[in-house]
């Protein structure tokens, strides 16, 4: 197993082979953890990976236009004002990328005397030293001018629960990169879909069903499949498969033969968001990601140089994502906070006034080229066939949300 049409074995594949030899086929969760987060060979950990922007493997909404971050910040400010403007606040971002979104948000907060005086700290949940360095360089000036502290954390659990502080949190394209397990329902229960070398005769596991429920968002099969790795089905229901099959009451009604992706990590992170903002002093959060209010059957995909490639293509050299089951996130935090949506990114930005903001920026544009760039950016963010339809926005607020706001009526998630 030295090479095939995908080239030589990557360092991650060598680790995968050693793991299979030691304990048998590996889960998709382990595969994603190794490919993205391995301390030295993971995709997000390598300094030579541009990751974001035109030189990276994908472009995110904040990279397209400053208006995205500006409108996210305005929504956060509105929630704070409706709760208690006397409280200082802090801003938290999960998976901050290059710091572009946070930089745009901080620029808005600086514009208002009330918010600039009340901003206490910024917390970035990021475990990549490479990405932390990029974020520090991007946000240093704003921190110095605003006289607030920036703190980095490896996990959201490290952020202290502070009294008399309002928490604003944003998670943009964070949940789609969290590991998922793949499970398939049989007459015996939930079996786990695992990964094994294609040509290993010692692997006796059967191949999982190739029939996917189109209602679960299964894409057509990739045109190019790695000859090195294959999906296999655990011979009996596994403990993890059984537990994940019980993660949502919705799963019990799914028919035999259904395959779904379930992220235990996403459930834990959603729970932690609820704990962080569902306090007596209040808080709010926006989760922006690919997905819908349903489980997905085969949404896992890999990106390299702005193209979707086979999921097993060069592990550690490609980004890997899966669609987000927003209902699972809401179920995980339902007893702690009030959730709203998700609605499409198009609806969120349009209702928040992106066209008004785009027109104002265009009027002050320094050149016709810059004006066109502004208009193109706004259109791309709300394109119903692109980002505007593919991305969904989930709003989260504390249950007891202050004097001026009903937690059941949060704009722009409630249409008047």
Rounded CA gap, 44 and 54, in Å?
A: 17
Q: Where are the beta strands (DSSP E) in 19-138?
A: 26-27, 89-94, 119-125
Please state, rounded to an integer, the average pLDDT across all residues of the chain.
89
Instruction: Record the pTM.
Output: 0.90
Each residue's pLDDT tens digit, 248-258: 999 999 999 99
What fold does the segment set 61-178+265-354+391-398 form as a domain?
Rossmann fold (3.40.50)
63's enclosing H/E stretch is helix 61-64
Instruction: Round to whole Å and give the CA distance between 279 and 270.
Output: 15
Residue in 285, 371, 297 with CA at minimum distance from that of residue 75: 285
CATH 3.40.50.150 in the chain is located at 61-178+265-354+391-398
Question: What integer pLDDT is reported at residue 43 of this predicted model?
Answer: 92
pLDDT band at 46 (very low <50, low <70, confident <90, very high): confident
> Per DSSP, what are the bridge partners of residue 395?
286, 340
Say what the pLDDT of residue 328 is. Answer: 98
Let me know how long the chain is.
416
Instruction: Tell which wins on pLDDT, 49 or 194.
Output: 194
What is residue 52's DSSP assignment? B
pLDDT digits (tens, 9 = 90+) for 128-155: 888 999 999 999 999 999 999 999 999 9
- CA 249-393-414 angle, 5° bins: 90
Strand-pair partners of 10: none
pLDDT of amino acid 54: 45
- Tell me what percent of the residues of the chain surpass a pLDDT of 90: 77
What's the pLDDT tens digit per position in 159-213? 999 999 999 999 999 999 999 999 999 999 999 999 999 887 777 676 776 544 4
In the prediction, which pLDDT does 213 show? 46
Q: What is the pLDDT of residues 89-98, one digit of tens each?
A: 999 999 999 9
The position carrying tokens 């990976």 is 49
| 53 confidence band (pLDDT: 50, 70, 90) | very low
Q: pLDDT, tens digit, for every residue of 309-332?
A: 999 999 999 999 999 999 999 999
Between CA 67 and CA 163 the distance in angstroms is 32
């Amino acid at each position: 197993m030295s090479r095939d049409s995908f080239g030589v074995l990557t360092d991650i594949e060598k680790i995968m082979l050693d793991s299979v030899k030691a304990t048998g086929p590996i889960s998709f969760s382990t595969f994603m953890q190794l490919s993205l987060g391995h301390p030295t060979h993971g995709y997000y950990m390598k300094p030579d990976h541009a990751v974001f922007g035109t030189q990276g493997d994908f472009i995110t909404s904040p990279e397209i236009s400053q208006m995205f971050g500006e409108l996210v910040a305005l929504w956060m400010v509105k929630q704070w004002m409706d709760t208690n403007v006397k409280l200082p606040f802090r801003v938290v971002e999960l998976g901050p990328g290059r710091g572009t979104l946070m930089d745009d948000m901080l620029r808005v907060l600086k514009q208002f005397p009330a918010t600039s005086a009340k901003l206490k700290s910024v917390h970035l949940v990021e475990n990549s030293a490479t990405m932390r360095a990029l974020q520090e360089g991007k946000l240093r000036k704003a921190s110095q001018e605003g006289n607030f502290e920036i703190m980095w954390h490896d996990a959201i659990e490290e952020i202290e629960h502070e009294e008399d502080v309002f928490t604003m949190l944003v998670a943009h394209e964070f949940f789609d990169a969290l590991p998922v397990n793949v499970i398939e329902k049989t007459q015996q229960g939930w079996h786990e879909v695992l990964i094994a070398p294609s040509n290993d005769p010692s692997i006796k596991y059967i191949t999982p069903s190739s029939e996917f429920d189109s209602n679960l968002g299964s894409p057509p099969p990739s045109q190019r499949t790695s000859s090195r790795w294959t999906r296999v089905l655990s011979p009996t229901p596994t403990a993890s498969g059984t537990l994940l099959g019980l993660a949502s009451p919705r799963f019990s009604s799914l028919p035999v033969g259904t395959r779904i992706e379930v992220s235990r990590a996403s459930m834990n992170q959603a729970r932690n968001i609820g704990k962080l903002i569902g306090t007596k002093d209040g808080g709010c959060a926006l989760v922006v990601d690919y997905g819908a209010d349903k489980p997905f059957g085969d949404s896992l995909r890999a990106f390299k140089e702005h193209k979707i490639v086979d999921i097993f293509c060069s592990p550690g050299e490609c980004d890997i994502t899966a669609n987000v089951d927003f209902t699972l996130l809401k179920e995980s935090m339902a007893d702690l906070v009030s959730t709203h949506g998700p609605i499409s990114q198009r609806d969120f930005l349009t209702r928040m006034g992106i066209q008004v903001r785009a027109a104002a920026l265009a009027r002050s544009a320094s050149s016709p080229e810059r004006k066109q760039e502004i208009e193109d950016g706004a259109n791309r963010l709300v394109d119903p066939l692109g980002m505007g339809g593919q991305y969904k926005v989930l709003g989260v607020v504390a249950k007891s949300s202050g004097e001026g706001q009903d937690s059941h009526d949060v704009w722009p998630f409630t249409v008047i």
